[in-house]
Chains A and B, each alone.
Chain A
């Protein structure tokens, strides 16, 4: 069965978000809804024909590290990503000036959802590469763009992001990868890097000859020490294969895959420990130390990298939404086909009925539908904010979109990751014992999805980002603007068939506003942060309830939209008050409990 439901996707993209209206913006002038549909058709075909067939095989045959130090992927993954690159999908949202198609990020995100639903692990290669090349295009010099972004645009290289180290993941200020100045050339200031990078997806791969690593490292002080904290972090372009201009000319850089991580899911993509500057295999120019070129200015590394990280965060949410979506479609199909048990109202019925006749199964299908469609809607909405923040007609519109995008990024990253996993849990449950076996697809969806609350900033980190930086940081202004729109949607719902949705939505918005006020006004700044994850979940629920309602109000929306919204309002929205209550009450249980009590 197909990994995606195009009718759902098209509804969100065209009927709800009005993607074709973006063509009124100068950046997208001359494009049409027909172009967007043709692009989605292509993505859908690649998803079905190339990415889906290799999803299961590449789960049981993980990437391997050969004695020669090279990583070998499952050949199916290699072919699928190759087909993606050959079809030029990596060019979708790239500027025309760089040979791209300059399509909206909104549409690119919808296309990526198709690929992710089919094979989340393999989708990681182009996803990372596209974000990597976008950073280079935005912050690199023209020569850096030519040397390091263009090969990715042309499908001759893939890209990675190298932030974490074995001892520093969530705390990047503590990284110890060291950069020593090593001259300059037409690609900018050159450095020799030494250190170890951990959790690097796609660092070793055999799809394209070259891999362009974006590496965070610290430029050593004159006395050989490293600057402290995040302000000492700089960003470097470290290619696997050196360009001609490097000392000693072209050839392999001083990089080594020191090992692969053996993961629970997401197995189609290699996840590597990458050593820089070992000097054992390759010594460019006769010296140890990986050659890298500085991007931007020293000390700007983290700020620049955040562009890639924010894009990756939205994509993590998107992947989680796509997996929730596929699990929902699979379990829905199963529930309509599989006969088991008698209906509650007629225990003596002569024959078993389809699973879908049982109220608890219906509950799980509607719950999954609300999560999957809500999460997908959240990601597409956020993607449109990214388009508007960059290209809207007026400065005011751009900054409004920017503020909303900033506010929602942690929600878009974490809500689908947390609740998409709950959806996959229910997808397995609908399948019963079969769902727990590897003969069915849903167990792998769950394993694949379990990564999403962890990578690109854990849920805990996202909670802190939302509450401390985005809410307490601006006194709740961005949230207030959002809630104003939520209330406007509640007012519109009140006037029509969605009237039952309005009071719950208003109450939940009020509770969130109140909690934000408590957090901002708290005498103790640490106490609220102990409730940051609960606040994050509550905020996500309010936003998703809002989007589900908004979609249900679209003229001609399929009937299922309203039911999914109703189910979410009835069963999920009441959780908002429960999540927020401990913050309001100033609960310090988690803070004050002695270690021995844990």
Chain B
């Protein structure tokens, strides 16, 4: 079986995000970018399935600017076998919306015919949490989102999902789409020797036009703003004073 793992190049989780002066979005110029952490978990899971003998090939796909090939190299260094880059934007500030991503992935899936798609549950830049579900709808495949545990049993996947209030285990028929949650695994470091070897692994470069998918945005960003800064606190002398202050503030 072949596994397809979509990976997104996002602002690094360590970077203190700043909103652009004109409020049109987040400033990404000269900012450190890396693989979306949920996608890293997906890559790790795919590699573990391969190591366990359940999977023959792991293919990583990224959609975005040309520099996303660095993100794919990371996936290859972790252990993916080959990669496909779909260049769909010239400017790092141009976000490709989930529907366009899902349509492109659907085309890739037509060609590649994987038995399983493992994707991050969401990307930490826009927190859309939509691509996996849309892809499932476009393909008519089953889906198991927010996976905490994945087991392949013949032509089914048994997936434990993180849901409100606990864990839910579902059995889905393959081919299927599984999105990964934070606790599924702890991704490995791509070792230095594997980083160097990854250069020799195949990385196909395509464009959105090759697949005939229109990636023009359908959503309009009205405004992007930083969260309000926290107001200074105030020391109170007694519980009574605290209570009266809270009443003044209208919170009790």
Are B73's CB and A38's CB within 8 A? Answer: yes
Which residue of A7, A48, A83, A92 contacts B192 across the interface (Cβ within 8 Å)? A92
Contact A35 B199 (CB under 8 A): yes
* Residues of chain B within 8 A of A86, CB atoms compared: 189, 191
The proximity string for A residues 9-42 relative to B, scoring 1 for CB distances below 8 Å and 0 otherwise, is 0000000000000000000000000110111011
Task: Report if A91-B70 is in contact (Cβ < 8 Å); known contacts: A2-B14, A35-B199, A48-B14.
Answer: no
For the complex, is A481 an interface residue (Cβ under 8 Å from B)? no
**B193 and A38: CB pair below 8 A?**
no
Q: Would A46 and B14 count as touching, CB distance under 8 A?
A: no
Minimal beta-carbon separation of A50 from chain B (angstroms): 9
**Alpha-carbon separation in the docked complex, A88 to B77 (Å):** 12
Answer yes or no: A147 CB below 8 A from chain B CBs: no
Which chain B residue shows the least CB distance to A48?
B14
Neighbouring B residues of A6 by C-beta, 8 Å: 32
Q: Please, could you name 8 A-B residue pairs with CB atoms under 8 Å apart, sorted by A?
A: A2-B14, A7-B30, A35-B195, A37-B70, A38-B77, A41-B34, A48-B14, A87-B192
Q: Does B74 contact A (CB under 8 A)?
A: yes
Would A35 and B196 be within 8 Å (CB), given that A2-B14, A6-B32 are in contact? yes
**Chain B residues near A72 (CB-CB < 8 A):** none
Q: Nearest Cβ distance between residue A565 and chain B, in whole angstroms?
A: 22
Question: Would you give the shortest CB distance from A31 to chain B, in whole angstroms?
Answer: 8
> Which residues of B have CB within 8 Å of A455?
none
**Interface residue B190 (Cβ < 8 Å from any Cβ of A):** yes
Interface residues of A in 154-194 (CB under 8 A from B): none
Closest-CB distance, B196 to chain A (whole angstroms): 5
Given A6-B32, A34-B70, A42–B14 Cβ distance below 8 Å? no
Q: Is A89 an interface residue when CB atoms closer than 8 A count as contact? A: yes
Please pick, from A2, A45, A46, A88, the residue contacting B193 in the complex, using a CB distance under 8 A: A88
**Would you call B32 and A42 a contact (CB within 8 A)?**
no
A480 at the interface (CB under 8 A from B): no
Contact with A along B1-17 (1 / 0, CB 8 A): 00000000000001000
The A252-293 residues at the B interface (CB cut-off 8 A) are none
Q: Is the Cβ of B196 less than 8 Å from the Cβ of A87?
A: no
The 5 closest A-B pairs by CB, nearest first: A88-B192, A88-B191, A88-B193, A87-B191, A87-B189
The reply to whether A101 and B193 form a contact with Cβ atoms under 8 Å apart is yes
Q: With A2-B14, A34-B70, A48-B14 in contact, is A39–B192 under 8 Å at CB?
A: yes
Residue-wise interface mask of B (193-237) relative to A, using a CB-CB cutoff of 8 A (1 in contact, 0 not): 111100100000000000000000000000000000000000000
Q: Closest B residue to A39 by CB, please name it.
A: B192
A285: min CB distance to chain B, Å: 37
Chain A residue numbers with a CB within 8 Å of B199 are 35
B58-92 residues with Cβ-Cβ distance < 8 A to A are 70, 73-74, 77
Given A2-B14, A34-B70, A35-B195, list of 18 further CB < 8 A pairs? A7-B30, A37-B70, A38-B70, A38-B73, A39-B192, A39-B195, A42-B189, A42-B191, A42-B195, A45-B189, A86-B191, A88-B192, A88-B193, A89-B192, A91-B192, A92-B192, A101-B193, A101-B196
A67-100 interface with B by 8 A CB criterion: 83, 86-89, 91-92
Whether A42 contacts B70 by the Cβ 8 Å rule is: no
User: A101 and B189: CB pair below 8 A?
Assistant: no
A562 to B194, CA, bound (A): 40
Task: List chain A residues, Cβ under 8 A from B32.
Answer: 6
Which A315-340 residues have a C-beta within 8 angstroms of B?
none
Given the complex, which residues of A lie within 8 Å of B73, measured CB to CB? 34, 38
C-alpha spacing A87/B193, complex, angstroms: 8
CB neighbours of A48 from chain B (8 A): 14
* A38-B195 contact given A2-B14, A6-B32, A48-B14, CB 8 Å threshold: yes
CA distance A45 to B34 in the complex (A): 11
A35 to B193, CA, bound (A): 11
- How far does the alpha carbon of A7 sit from the alpha carbon of B29 in the complex, in Å? 13
Chain B residue contacts of A87, Cβ below 8 A: 189-192
Closest residue of chain A to B14 (Cβ to Cβ) is: A2
Q: Which single residue of chain A is at the shortest CB-CB distance from B199? A: A35
Q: How many Å from the CB of B198 to the closest CB on chain A?
A: 9
A29 to B247, CA, bound (A): 72
Task: Please judge, given known A-B contacts A34-B70, A38-B74, whether A91 and B193 are in contact too, CB under 8 Å.
Answer: yes
CB distance from B247 to the nearest CB of A (A): 28
Q: What is the distance, in angstroms, from A329's C-beta to the closest C-beta of chain B?
A: 13
Is B189 within 8 A of A83, CB to CB? Answer: yes
Most B-side CB within 10 Å, residue of A37, A42, A86: A42
Docked CA distance A590–B199 (Å): 61
- Chain A residues with CB under 8 Å of B34's CB are 41
Residues of A within 8 A of B77 (CB): 38
Q: Which residues of A37-71 are within 8 A (CB) of B?
A: 37-39, 41-42, 45-46, 48
Q: How far is the CA of A89 from the CA of B77 in the complex (A)?
A: 14
B217 to chain A, nearest CB (A): 30
A7 to B189, CA, bound (A): 22
Instruction: Return chain B residues, CB-CB under 8 Å to A83.
Output: 189
Q: Name the B residues within 8 Å of A37 (CB-CB).
A: 70
- Select from chain B the residue with minimum beta-carbon distance to A34: B70
Residues of B within 8 A of A88 (CB): 191-194
A-chain residues with CB within 8 Å of residue B14 when the two chains form the complex: 2, 48
- The smallest C-beta distance from B137 to any residue of chain A, in angstroms, reads 36
Distance between Cα atoms of A42 and B196 in the complex (Å): 12
Task: Name A86-131 residues within 8 Å CB distance of B.
Answer: 86-89, 91-92, 101
Residue of B at shortest CB range from A7?
B30
Shortest CB-to-CB span from A527 to chain B, Å, is 51
List residues of chain B with CB within 8 A of the CB of A39. 192, 195
Quote the shortest CB–CB distance from B171 to chain A (angstroms): 35
> When each residue 160-194 of chain B gets 1 if its CB lies under 8 Å from chain A and 0 otherwise, what string results?
00000000000000000000000000000111111
* Residue in A35, A37, A38 whose Cβ sees the most chain B Cβ within 10 Å: A38
Q: Which residue of B lies closest to A6 (CB)?
A: B32
Q: Mark A502-516, 1 if CB is under 8 A from B, else 0.
A: 000000000000000
Report the bound CA distance from A78 to B85 in whole Å: 39
Closest residue of A by beta carbon distance from B194 = A88
A44: min CB distance to chain B, Å: 9
Nearest CB on B from A564, distance (A):
20
